[in-house]
Structure 1
Amino acid sequence: MFAVEEKKGDLFFRIFVQPKSSKNMISGIHGDALKVKITAPPVDGAANAMCIKYFAKFLGVSKSSVEIVSGQTGRNKRVRVELGASPGDEEKRRNIVKLLTSYA
């Protein structure tokens, strides 16, 4: 079952990447991960870079706030979204969790 974890204000979630797709999109759930279709090929980190760019735009955060913390060379990845500790960030955190879990 897909879940978003919160640790020290950061959000963590799992994704399953399908590279070389016709468009960038979340296509549902794959096991305990969001299934993400990415147009970039799995060559020289291009798919990872596209995942970071896609999630930054999708979640409304900067690219530097999104990091793939594990699974750099595979399809199963763990993503971290770094958020601050200000009151406005708490609302953003809730909105991101709501958005991500809407696919579950």
Structure 2
Amino acid sequence: MASATNVPYLRATARGGSRLDVSVAPNARSTAIAGVHGDTLRVRLAAQPIEGAANEALLRWLAQSLGIARSQLRLAHGASSRRKSVEIDLEVERVRAWIAQTLADGQ
């Protein structure tokens, strides 16, 4: 698995938050990080890509995993694509630490 110390898929926003680029794989058995896919974080989703269900599942899972409220996440780009950008109202260092720990744990 890749290290999260220098990750092209995570950057700071002008408002002090983070922007995370993900590549999703819907219809998985469970929701989890599946590693790095090019310049995105690969996430398997246990949701179907129907009527925004996969988008909402991604945002709810991220909120729960990061320990923040769902309202602190917004889908900034990619509503109908497998490649998405999520804005997170959380400093980039905390998101980077969560990614590093999750990748280290193999989850």
TM range (shorter): 0.7 to 0.9
> What are structure 1's unaligned runs of at least 5 residues?
84-89
Match of 1:31 among 31, 38, 42: 38
- The alpha-carbon deviation at position 101 of structure 1 amounts to 4.4
> What are structure 2's unaligned runs of at least 5 residues?
1-6
What CA distance in whole angstroms lies between the structure 1 residues aligned with 2:43 and 2:8? 13
What CA distance in whole angstroms lies between the structure 2 residues aligned with 1:100 and 1:6? 15
| TM-score normalised by L of structure 2 | 0.81
Using the aligned pairs only, state the percent identity.
28
Match of 1:45 among 25, 47, 52: 52
SS of the residue corresponding to residue 78 of structure 1 reads strand
What CA distance in whole angstroms lies between the structure 2 residues aligned with 1:15 and 1:42? 15
Tell whether 2:19 aligns with 1:19.
no
Tell whether 2:10 aligns with 1:4.
yes
Runs of 4+ in 1 over 4 A off after TM superposition: none
Q: Which residue of 1 aligns with 2:96?
A: 97
SS of the residue corresponding to residue 42 of structure 1 reads coil
What CA distance in whole angstroms lies between the structure 1 residues aligned with 2:42 and 2:9? 13
Mapping for residues 52-67 of structure 1, pairs under 5 Å? 52-67=59-74
Amino acid at match of 1:99: W
- The alpha-carbon deviation at position 99 of structure 1 amounts to 1.7
What CA distance in whole angstroms lies between the structure 1 residues aligned with 2:43 and 2:24? 5
What CA distance in whole angstroms lies between the structure 2 residues aligned with 1:37 and 1:22? 8
* RMSD between superposed Cα atoms in Å: 1.8
| TM-score normalised by L of structure 1 | 0.83
